[in-house]
Structure 1
Amino acid sequence: MGRLIKYLFYLLVLAGVALVGYAYLGPLLGVDFSPRQMEIRAPVTLNAE
């Protein structure tokens, strides 16, 4: 049981390192993480009584 927990811990650490590496190296590999931008207009009523 202890070995299983140890291997799961190693797998979790490896997944974290892979995620951080992907976040840093993604733009160099052509992955775009920026959100799509679009303008949203909504009418606002001030001092409505």
Structure 2
Amino acid sequence: MAFNTIQFQHGMSVPEFIERFGTEEQCAEAVKAMALHTTRSEAVVAHEAHA
């Protein structure tokens, strides 16, 4: 069987994604945080502060 690189990408897992963005409210908060901050690292820090 061939090695499928799509299956081995770096990043968050599906359960982690669902935990962070699984509800409409969680998703909206993440979008707001990204819109308010100029860099991804600032948005991640803001998201973690609300977690």
Structure having the larger proportion of residues in helix: 2
TM-score when normalising by structure 2: 0.31
Q: Which has the higher contact order (CA 8 A, sep 6+)?
A: 2
TM-score when normalising by structure 1: 0.32
